[in-house]
Chains A and B, each alone.
Chain A
Amino acid sequence: MKFLKPTLERLSYAILLLIAVLILNFSMLHLAPGDIADTISQSMGGADAETMEQIRRDYGLDQPFIVQLGQYVWKVLHFDLGYSFFYNQPVTTLILAKLPATLLLVITSQVVALVVGVLLGVYSARKPNGLASHFVTLVALFGYAAPVFWTGLLLLIAFSLKIPLFPVAGMIDVTVEGGFFAKAFDIARHMVLPVIALSSIFFALYSRLCRASMMEVLGSDYIRTAKAKGLSESKIVLKHALKNSLSPVVTLAGLQFSAVISGAVLVEAVFSWPGLGTLAFSAIIERDTPTILGILFFSALVVIVGNLLTDLVLRLIDPRIRRKG
Chain B
Amino acid sequence: MDGQKIILKNYALVICEKADAAKRIAEALGNNIEVFENRGIQFYFVTNNEKKFVVCSALGHLYSLGNFRKDRKVYPVFDLMWLPLNNIDKNKTHVIERIKVIEEMAKNATEFINACDYDVEGSTIGFNILKYACKVNFQDILRAKFSTLTKDELRDAFNNLKNKIDEGLVKAGITRHIVDYLWGINLSRILISSLQYTQYGGGALSIGRVQGPTLRFIVDREIEIQSFVTRPYWTLKALIEYDKVKAYAFYFKDRITKEREALMIKKENEGEIGIVNEVKKTKVELKTPTPFNTGDLQKEAYRLFGFSPSLTLNIAEQLYLQAFISYPRTNSQKLPKSIDYLKIIKELGKLKEYQSEAKTLLSTKLRLHEGDKDDPAHPCIYPTGEIEGIEKLNERQKKLFDLIVRRFFAIFAENAIVERLQILICVRENHLWKINGRRYINLGWIKFYKEYFDTEETEIPALDKGDGVLFRTVTVEEKFEKRPPRYNKGSLLEKMEEENLGTKSTRAEIIETLYKRKYIVGESMKPTKLGFQVIETLSRYSEKIISTYLTREMENFLEKIELGKEEPEKILEQTFYLTWQAINELSYNLEKIGLELKNAIQETALENKTLGVCQKCKDGSLIIIYNRKTGKRFVGCTNYRNGCNFIAPLPQKGTLQNTGKTCDKCGWPLLQLRNGKIFWKFCINPECPSKVK
Question: Are A and B physically bound partners?
Answer: no
- Residues of chain B at the chain A interface (Cβ within 8 Å): none
